[in-house]
Amino acid sequence: MSELVQFVGVVAVVGMAVATVFTAWTPSAPSGNLLAGFARPTATPLPQSAGSQAAPPTPTPLPSHLIGIVAGHKGNDSGAVCPDGLTEASVNLDIATRVKSGLEASGFQVDLLDEFDTRLEGYDALAVVSIHNDSCDYINDQATGFKVAGAVNGGAPEKSARLVACLIDRYPRQTGLNFHANSITVDMTQYHTYNEVKPTTPVAIIEAGFLNLDRKILTEQPYRVAQGIIDGILCYALNQPVPPTPTAGP
């Protein structure tokens, strides 16, 4: 009988010990859905072998995307001066600065250049566009619109011709101004920058408007003027289609 009591006592002690261990091991019940705790991902990700790691994406190589924007007369003189003191140089700079910002927003590196900038010597770029405006004087009712010319004997003539064609096509879409081909001057066709840049760099000069009859859009809506130039440069840079260049105008 004493042996039976002793056996029962041993069993009781072992049972109590097992119950104590089980109670200590069992986590407290989670609040809310009991299964929610089992749906959580592990905190530490499983290690990957060197061969199984995903390779980083290969960056798409970009062509040379430096563009030079010349603010006509900047650093040299005032250009045309209107009776109220408005200068061509100030209008040119406003437009050129907007063009620079717009092209940079499109991912291009852009230099804002002076008229006779020392950096233009041997300048190697996707394109150079020099921004000017025509006289403040009233000439006649046809003295309105824009003009574009490109390098003929320097500054990559074939590329320049396409750059010019893009500007002639895109600029009036934003501004509504007509191409004034018949008033393109020798100063435009023999522009000094053509022979300063690297021979592979195309150059174009644009007279964005006349400071007399086109003054309103040039000074009150310069963002439209700038966007027209930006669109023309992007047309060239992105090799977009362009119709044949018109050869005559008012």
Question: Three-class SS string for the chain?
Answer: CHHHHHHHHHHHHHHHHHHHHHHHHCCCCCCCCCCHHHHCCCCCCCCCCHHHCCCCCCCCCCCCCEEEEEECCCCCCCCCECCCCCEHHHHHHHHHHHHHHHHHHCCCEEEEECCCCHHHCCCCCCEEEEEEEECCCCCCCCCCCEEEEECCCCCCHHHHHHHHHHHHHHHHHHHCCCECHHHCCHHHHCCHHHHCCCCCCCEEEEEEEECCCCHHHHHHCHHHHHHHHHHHHHHHHCCCCCCCCCCCCC
Which residues have CB under 8 Å from 115's CB, separation 6+? 70, 71, 72, 73, 74, 75, 76, 77, 130
What is the pLDDT tens value at each position of the chain, 250 positions in all?
Answer: 444 444 434 444 444 443 443 333 343 333 333 333 333 333 334 344 444 444 555 444 444 689 999 999 999 999 999 999 999 999 999 999 999 999 999 999 999 999 999 999 999 999 999 999 999 999 999 999 999 999 877 779 999 999 999 999 999 999 999 999 989 999 999 999 999 999 999 999 999 999 999 999 999 999 999 999 999 999 999 999 998 765 544 4
CA-CA distances (angstroms) from residue 72 to 114, 133, 176?
7, 8, 22
Please tell me the predicted confidence (pLDDT) of residue 56.
54
Give the whole-angstrom CA distance, residue 20 versus residue 42.
Answer: 29
195 domain residue, yes or no:
yes
Please tell me the predicted confidence (pLDDT) of residue 245.
63
CATH of the domain at 70: 3.40.630.40
Task: Quote the tokens at residue 112.
Answer: 């804002």
**Structural domain range at position 144:** 66-237
CA-CA distances (angstroms) from residue 159 to 21, 152, 201, 203, 230?
85, 10, 8, 8, 17
Task: Quote the tokens at residue 93.
Answer: 């700079």
Give the whole-angstrom CA distance, residue 96 versus residue 106.
Answer: 15
Task: Quote the tokens at residue 1.
Answer: 């009988």
Q: What is the CA radius of gyration of the chain?
A: 37
Give the whole-angstrom CA distance, residue 134 versus residue 74.
Answer: 15
90 domain residue, yes or no:
yes
Overall domain count for the chain: 1
Q: What is the pTM of this model?
A: 0.73
Taking Cα atoms as reference points, which of 123, 122, 102, 57 lies closest to residue 225?
Answer: 102
59 domain residue, yes or no:
no
10 domain residue, yes or no:
no
97 domain residue, yes or no:
yes
Angle at 243 between CA 241 and CA 245, to 5 degrees: 125
49 domain residue, yes or no:
no
159 domain residue, yes or no:
yes
Task: Quote the tokens at residue 129.
Answer: 């566009």
200 domain residue, yes or no:
yes
